[in-house]
Amino acid sequence: MKYLKQLLIIITVSLMGELLHEMVPLPIPASIYGIAGMFILLYSGLLKVGQIRETANFLFEIMPVMFIPPAVGLIKSWDVLKTHWLSYLAVTLVSTILVMAVSGLVTQAVIGKGGSENE
């Protein structure tokens, strides 16, 4: 029952992201609204990490399985993609490096901010 409750909390936050996406006329994916909502709930203390920990860990553990359908879709679409594969590869590499750099900088900033408050 605990896992069902945790899953319902996560699904509810995701649903709120979907609803925001439909109501707000901005080109922001619903998943971003959901992640932002989860962050706000956790940061404000309205939702405790312990209330979703086990189910969130499970979802993180099975995340690689979620990439199988898109990979199969890419393989099935190879006839269309093969003419521009180098462009797609370049965009993927550049965007991956940028995301890693920004994530690292944000993480360092958050760790630095948290460290100064504890001193």
Model confidence, pTM: 0.66
Cβ–Cβ under 8 Å, residues 33 and 21 = yes
Structure tokens at 65: 């399985």
What pLDDT digit, counting tens, does each position of 64-77 carry? 999 999 989 988 99
What pLDDT digit, counting tens, does each position of 29-65 carry? 999 999 999 999 999 999 999 999 999 999 999 999 9
Handedness of CA 71, 76, 14, 33 (dihedral sign): positive
Cβ–Cβ under 8 Å, residues 41 and 47 = yes
pLDDT reported for residue 115: 56
pLDDT reported for residue 74: 86
Give domain limits for the chain: 1-61, 67-119
pLDDT reported for residue 119: 47
Structure tokens at 71: 């990979």
